Amino acid sequence: MPPKKGQTCVYAYPDWCKGCGLCVAFCPTKVFELGPTGKVQVVHEEECINCGFCELHCPDFAIAVLPREEGCAADLHVAQEIRQKMKGYQKG
Ligand code: SF4
Ligand code: SF4
């Protein structure tokens, strides 16, 4: 069964993005673009298939992909999610 689109909220935390372009290059459904400031922008959130590549490979932990049923989170909540994930990676 093909992966379902539109099940996620995708958030890129601009303060942490260094504009390396990894997520732009490797997201299979082209969810991201680099904006005029050199930071990543989420431009096609509805295309996300929740593959997890961007979260796993962003060197600065600047991306969170969250289940949409929880609602598209406010920035503060998302920042907390990112930090929780960082703690998990650091422990691992
Ligand atoms: S992989 Fe991370 S640091 Fe690189 S452009 Fe994407 S969000 Fe920014
Ligand atoms: S989870 Fe996969 S499809 Fe969704 S934005 Fe990240 S790389 Fe793209």
Q: Domain limits of the chain?
A: 8-91
Predicted structure pTM score: 0.81
27 lines ligand 2 (CB under 6 A): yes
Query: Beta partners for 66?
Result: 9
pLDDT of 82 > 70? The answer is: no
H helix runs in the chain, sequence order: 22-26, 53-57, 75-91
Which residues does a 6 A CB cutoff place in the pocket of ligand 1? 12, 17-23, 40, 58-60, 62-63
| pLDDT of amino acid 29 | 97
Is 8-91 in CATH node 3.30.70.20?
yes
pLDDT in tens, 8-60: 889 898 889 999 999 999 999 999 999 999 999 999 999 999 999 999 999 99
Q: What mean pLDDT comes out for the span 69-80?
A: 63
Size of the chain in residues: 92
Mutate to test the pocket of ligand 1, among 20, 33, 39, 65 (most ligand atoms within 8 A of CB): 20
18, 24, 26, 29 alpha-carbon torsion, rounded to 10° = 150
Could you tell me if 49 and 5 are in contact, meaning their C-beta atoms sit under 8 angstroms apart? yes
